[in-house]
Structure 1
Amino acid sequence: MKVIGAGFGRTGTRSLKAALELLGFGPCYHMSTVIAEPYRVRQWLDVGEGRSRDWDTLFAGFRSALDWPASAYWRELAGHYPEAKVVLTVRDPARWYDSVSATIFRSALEQRARPPLRRRVIRWMVARRAPDFALYPRMARATFIDPVFGGRLDDRDHVIEVFERHVAEVRAAIPAGRLLVFEPGDGWEPLCAFLGVAVPDVPYPQVNERAAFRRKRPRRLARLILRGR
Structure 2
Amino acid sequence: MGLSVIGAGFGRTGTLSLKGALEQLGFGPCHHMAEVFAHPEQIPAWKQATAGAAVDWDELLAGYRATVDWPSAYFWRELAAAYPEAKVLLSTRDVDSWYASFSNTILKLIAAKDEITVPPVRAALEMGAPLVSTKVFGDRADDPEHAKAVFRAHEAEVRRTIPAERLLVFDVREGWAPLCAFLAVPVPDGPFPRLNDAEQFKALTGS
Matched, 1:195 2:198: no
The gaps in structure 2 that reach 5 residues or longer are: none
Q: 1:27 to 1:217 in 2, by over 3 A?
A: closer
- Deviation, 1:218, is 4.5
The residue number in structure 2 matching 1:10 is 12
Q: Counterpart amino acid of 1:184?
A: V
Equivalent residues of 1:15, 1:205 under 8 A apart: yes
1:70 to 72, 82, 85: 72
CA RMSD across the alignment: 1.6
2:95 to 45, 69, 93: 93
Taking structure 1 as the reference length, the TM-score comes to 0.84
1:207 to 192, 195, 202: 195
The residue number in structure 2 matching 1:225 is none
Matched, 1:174 2:159: no
Q: CA-to-partner distance for each residue in 1:7-54, whole Å, 9 max, x for gaps?
A: 000000111111101110000011100011111111211111123411
Q: Counterpart amino acid of 1:189?
A: A
The gaps in structure 1 that reach 5 residues or longer are: 220-229
Matched, 1:107 2:95: no
1:148 to 136, 140, 156: 136
Q: Distance in 1 between matches of 2:20 and 2:199?
A: 15
Equivalent residues of 2:121, 2:206 under 8 A apart: no
- Deviation, 1:203, is 1.1
Q: Counterpart amino acid of 1:179?
A: L
Larger radius of gyration: 1
Q: Distance in 2 between matches of 1:6 and 1:97?
A: 17
Q: Counterpart amino acid of 2:44?
A: R
- For these two proteins, the number of residue pairs brought into alignment is 205
- Deviation, 1:217, is 3.7
Equivalent residues of 1:27, 1:61 under 8 A apart: yes
- Deviation, 1:5, is 0.3
The alignment-based identity, stated in percent, is 49
> After TM superposition, which residue ranges in structure 1, 4 or more long, deviate above 3 angstroms?
132-135, 216-219
- Deviation, 1:134, is 4.1
Q: CA-to-partner distance for each residue in 1:179-213, whole Å, 9 max, x for gaps?
A: 00000211111000000011111111111332231
- Deviation, 1:151, is 1.3
- Deviation, 1:175, is 0.4
The residue number in structure 2 matching 1:139 is 127
Q: CA-to-partner distance for each residue in 1:154-199, whole Å, 9 max, x for gaps?
A: 1000000000001100001000000000002111110000000111
